Amino acid sequence: MCGIVGYVGNKNATSVLIRALKKLEYRGYDSAGIAVYTGEEIVVQKVKGMLKNLSERITGEVIPEGLKGKEYSDYENKLALKTDDFIKGNIGIGHTRWATHGEPSDLNSHPHTNMDGTISIVHNGIIENYAELKAKLQAQGVVFKSQTDTEVVVHLLDQKYKASGDIFKAVIETLHVLEGSYALGVICKNYPDRIIAARKESPLIVGLGKGENFIASDVPAILEHTRDVYYLGERELAVLYNDHVDLFNFEGEKIIKEPSHVEWDMDAATKGGYEHFMIKEIHEQPKGLTDTMRPRIVKDASGKPVDVFFEENKMDDAWKTADRVVITACGTAYHAGVVAKYAFEKIARMKVDVDVASEFRYRDPILDKKDIFIVISQSGETADTLSALRLAKENGLKVVAITNCVGSTVSREADDVIYTLAGPEIAVASTKAYTTQLLCLYLLAIKAGKLRGTLSDEEATKLLTELEGIPAKIQQILDGKEVIQKFAAQQFNKDKIFYIGRQFDSATSLESALKLKEVSYMHSEAFAAGELKHGPIALIDPQTLVVAIASQPALYDKIGSNMVEVKSRGATVLVITQDEKAFEGKTDEVFKIPECSDTLASILTVIPAQLFAYYCAVQRGFDPDKPRNLAKSVTVE
């Protein structure tokens, strides 16, 4: 949900915080703020709207209209640096918000402070018992300024501090009262040399510098300063000074852990010349897939791929005897799971159930200890997915996590973890994380098929050889993206867009429709093509675009008939396929993908849909990196 940062060191904190928040704006951007201790007082500046509004508020200078691309970015960075002239101090915290309690406003923005302004906090998460706590505090004379659940925390902390005179003890006592999820950063005027940070069910890292230390919700925020980090574990605290960091559990007992070194290239967390992160990340898919695949394909002496190797995998025996695979995830990751259902059934001949994680734990699911449970989460911190994982573990199931984030909660709590080596994904709408998730699931299905004897050596080699060629085929699609860009320029004003497909393509339709609605706000839905005449065809009219995904040759005639049905009712039809001749006279536009087996084509067919969503958003004047009401990591239910 929200993004938090903190800095203690020898530099001026203000611009460090604002520049770090810029790297986290994908987590929320309806308001932003900082609190910096100047040596005399904690100065808080916070404002509704995007981060640039904060720099403008502090400096009194407005970014000129008409600036775009690199010119705009350079000016924004210049203004962020200029804030150091207005607020001077070596310690501070910052926040970029995705609203949960209270509408976006200056008052509801973080940081929040106690009544006398001596303690300030930032928070990512939700305090579930805030109403009860707020009522008690108000009865004791505490005056609240905002509608947020977070303000309860700072007033409760203030009470605990006044009672004990020890800010660390006050934080510990406060944490024991709070219910819900949170990552917290705390500064106190009377302890001007430290930041106290705590984590429960929301991500938080500690960056380790030389003469300076940082907290952040995600790695990109601190990459320009350090690559050495602690990933705070569940119910852990950190106390940061400029020259060292102490770690504790929620009982106040000191703990020791080894720091991790982040290998990400700095360029991976910047736009690198692209107008938006989304289009950059679409173009990064060939590299992300290659990086994810290369270390996991086993070759014989002749260089022929023969098997799959997961360094993290310790569950070979479990795969041999499992009766069923259960996959759970949310949003885009759920759609990867739907594709995986078809892949596991076809390749490994295993029964597969796929669940939306937000529904899974509330329906009293039927689980068996011989089931293998797969959770998929780009961030590794998705609240609903974590809850499903824990329920599976409680029932004795073996859990495999597929995630992009090393050290994330799902990676630590699962029995096995498979990392999608996609690099940082900044745009809210997932692209490269999705295709690398698909790749990992395909590799896992091939591995399971080999272990269970349902996939011959020859068949495995054929699939792995074809997978090795997927990145180059995606590059071919990207090289021809102008066709999709032109089509988007003609269709971006359609009232409704329906994606249809069969089998694997039906699963891809789900993700394609989601991508379009996320970033362009166009009404889009996905249907199994055969379901059109069971109701949805009533909606077809000349203002409808139907995108047919057709990569299953055995079903070309069937989906071709569906295309004729909608075209005869006035719809415009686009088909994404590797055989345009099969649909002559049935479509208005064809986007041809490279030849690919119907088993693996889902990795290719989604690329044109990603491009179409991006170009429609741009045509409609929306920022595809920051779709309204959405955040990158959903760390609350």
Contact, 623 vs 492, CB < 8 A? Answer: no
Instruction: Provide the greatest CA pair distance for the chain.
Output: 80
Identify residue 297 by its one-letter amino acid code. I
Helix (H), strand (E) at residue 185 = strand 180-188
User: Residue 381: phi, psi to the nearest 5?
Assistant: -125, 5
**Count of Cβ atoms closer than 10 Å to residue 449 Cβ:** 24
- Catalytic residue flag (residue 632): yes
Task: Pull the structure tokens for residue 427.
Answer: 């745009």
Identify residue 77 by its one-letter amino acid code. N
Residue with tokens 């303000």: 151
Among residues 2, 188, 405, 616, the one annotated as catalytic is 2
What is the number of alpha carbons within 13 Å of residue 243 lying toward its C-beta?
A: 0
- The strand ranges marked E within 568-623 are 572-577, 589-592
Contact, 200 vs 234, CB < 8 A? Answer: yes
Task: Pull the structure tokens for residue 630.
Answer: 């959405």
Task: Pull the structure tokens for residue 626.
Answer: 């920051």
Q: How far is CA 595 from the centre of its chain?
A: 31
**Count of Cβ atoms closer than 10 Å to residue 629 Cβ:** 9
Kindly give the residue spans of alpha helices, DSSP state H, lying in 179-294.
Answer: 277-283, 285-293
Contact, 624 vs 276, CB < 8 A? Answer: yes
Residue with tokens 């069910």: 201
Among residues 22, 46, 52, 632, the one annotated as catalytic is 632
Task: Pull the structure tokens for residue 631.
Answer: 């955040």
Task: Pull the structure tokens for residue 546.
Answer: 């139907």
Q: Which residues are catalytic?
A: 2, 632
